[in-house]
């Protein structure tokens, strides 16, 4: 959330983030996607202007998890 606020305050129109750690013994991809996309959506709701975001999703499992979270919009 701090990164989003900093980019927004600096006038950025977009920002990119890597997916949270979803490797062996880490967060489940669905939990990581929920956390990251939820934080971004919450930030956007309180912002007067839009900020585009790009998530780097290193595995197909990460992509599928993010797609499922986005589909619940």
Q: What is the spatial distance between Cα 42 and Cα 20, in angstroms, rounded to a whole number? A: 17
Q: For 40-70, what is each residue's pLDDT tens digit?
A: 889 888 888 888 989 888 889 889 999 999 9
Tell me what the mean pLDDT of segment 20-36 comes to: 80
HSE (CB half, 13 Å, CA atoms) of 36?
Answer: 27
The whole-angstrom separation of Cα 40 and Cα 19 is: 13
Give pLDDT, residue 11: 92
pLDDT at 10: 92
């Amino acid at each position: 959330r701090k990164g989003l606020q900093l980019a927004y305050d600096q006038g950025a129109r977009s920002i990119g983030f890597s997916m949270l750690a979803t490797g062996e013994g880490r967060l489940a991809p669905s939990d990581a996607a929920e956390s990251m996309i939820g934080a971004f959506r919450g930030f956007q709701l309180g912002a007067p202007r839009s900020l585009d975001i790009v998530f780097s999703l290193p595995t197909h499992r990460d992509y599928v998890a993010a797609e499922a979270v986005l589909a619940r919009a």
